[in-house]
Chain A
């Protein structure tokens, strides 16, 4: 088990200590061979990784199908963002792109990252962008056309990004070359929680300071509106 120091939830020293010891043995998941963290892990086969599934029989789990579905969604909507001229439609396409990326995260067993992607980017940032567009829009038929300068700059950034991605692709380990699979009982959210309290503690606390700065800025903006 990855989290060996977990206190069993039925233990007598359970922090919420109202468990009745005479009842608990009926309920104890350990009696029926289940793990308190992941009830399926003892009985079910280990969860295969994306790489295993991609090389396995295509009909086996439908994984390649899902991968291509997510990839199509992400790529098509990303193209649509670039070629759309209505700015609200662009944000809808951006929503679809973000959802496709969340699908990739789910496939890579990064469940928490997928949820955060939806909560923070799709649910928060994008709404802010849409509000920004809708509330500051003085020209109703607002259409966006890129100037040649912007096109050149965009092309430059695009080429740079493509180079970075290709570099990353080349350096990604493939199965059989130092590729390590995720353990079957891996829980991303626990791993993140532990790292936030140990090696990533400073960024964690700094994020609070950053949020404080944003709050003060937002309060200033709100007050300047009134004053």
Chain B
């Protein structure tokens, strides 16, 4: 049992517990932010007393997640006939577990100096940390596919297919973003990427286009609005979890929030400097107090990103499916390829950082200017006005003639 292993296990348990609790409160935050956006009050009745404890205050609805949890445990869990029972049970498990596995390589608190050794405050400090995160992320697709397939419901099936196609499409620009960051720094270790940023400027400052694209991809990967086509209520009821109830449904829900946390942590690590704050980055290795402080900074950044995600959800309308596919295949991929080539040439010519910023600006301008001017060809359909349809109504007959 090396000291590093003990540190890893402690980090693992603390972070896993912390995130599981914060998942519940994230749901409360989501409802509160939704209420503020829509000029409502939001959940504020369920305090912490539960009719037993002598707490008179309403605690701003802090008991709501607990009450929701109890409700979900007590709800009846029925399995419709005709489902594939094994896969039906497996799907929520496959949604939750990969989302949790992503936390393993995130450098939550930098390095801990213990005696004369330096320990990683990470569950698994592996060389290819960020590529590992992508690999784990690509497994999350299975939960959606199997949930859609096993339910034997047409809504579920279509929702699952849509969500899968969407997640696959947005994994490519996401991978290209990660590739560009690796290209810049020459390392795929999560902690080294944070060190590079702590040493200089956060990646988001001089690769803003890349940061925006990566954030978009994260939203699409965890099926959040405006990319929540899998569960578009108006068309597909609940999407791939239509037939799920009680705890299995709750696991799908929790999986979504865990994916949000993993994605936000990934973004923080790649673009927002991880545990780095301008005045805090001085001692790279410190005692437990410094590690806790850095972990706090990391979690604070993640919390801000989560708030941003919720804000976006309650602000933007949902995409149409063809718009979503067009955005990924004809928008994000060429732009990311351009940024990658620009970064490669920049690294080759040993240019300073502001060149990257200028390059990003030029690419953004080019995309905005060129986008509408690309010839669409004959491949685009015209609206076909069928005679007598509402697009081609019969001309009103003149009553006088």
Contact = CB atoms under 8 A, between A and B. Distances in A.
Direct contact of A and B (CB under 8 A): yes
Interface of A: 6, 9-10, 13-20, 23-24, 26-27, 29, 32-34, 36-40, 43-45, 86, 88-89, 92, 95, 111-112, 114-116, 118-119, 122-124, 127, 130-131, 134, 187-189
A111 B4 contact: no
Contacts of B65: none
Given A39-B118, A43-B117, A187-B127, A19 B200 contact: yes
The secondary structure that dominates the B interface is helix
A15 B84 contact: no
B87 A89 contact: yes
A118 B187 contact: no
Interface string B240-274: 00000000000000000000000000000000000
B4 A40 contact: yes
Contact of A18 (B120, B128, B353): B353
Given A119-B138, A127-B141, 14 more contacts: A16-B347, A16-B353, A18-B200, A27-B281, A27-B284, A29-B284, A32-B118, A40-B120, A111-B126, A116-B135, A122-B138, A124-B138, A134-B157, A134-B161
B358 interface: no
11 contacts: A19-B200, A23-B199, A24-B199, A36-B192, A43-B116, A89-B86, A112-B131, A118-B139, A123-B138, A123-B139, A131-B164
B311 interface: no
Interface in B157-198: 157, 161, 164, 168, 171, 184-188, 191-192, 195-196, 198
A74 B169 CA distance: 30
B323 interface: no
A15 B72 CA distance: 55
| Max chain B C-beta neighbours (<10 A), residue from A19, A27, A130 | A27
Closest 6 CB pairs of A and B: A123-B138, A18-B353, A118-B135, A115-B135, A43-B117, A15-B347
Nearest to A34: B118
Contacts, number: 130
A127 B118 contact: no
B81 to A, nearest CB: 14
A44 B139 contact: no
| Max chain A C-beta neighbours (<10 A), residue from B90, B135, B350 | B135
Contacts of A130: 145, 149
Contact of B187 (A20, A34, A37): A37
B117 A89 contact: no
B149 A127 contact: no
Nearest to B184: A16
Contacts of B142: 92, 95, 127
A102 B118 CA distance: 29
B141 A118 contact: no
Contacts of A18: 200-201, 352-354
A118 B145 contact: no
B128 A44 contact: no
Contact of B285 (A9, A32, A38): A32
A197 B187 CA distance: 17
Contacts of B139: 118, 122-123
Given A17-B352, A34-B118, A29 B84 contact: no
A28 to B, nearest CB: 9
A27 B280 CA distance: 12
Given A27-B195, A111-B132, A189-B188, A16 B200 contact: yes
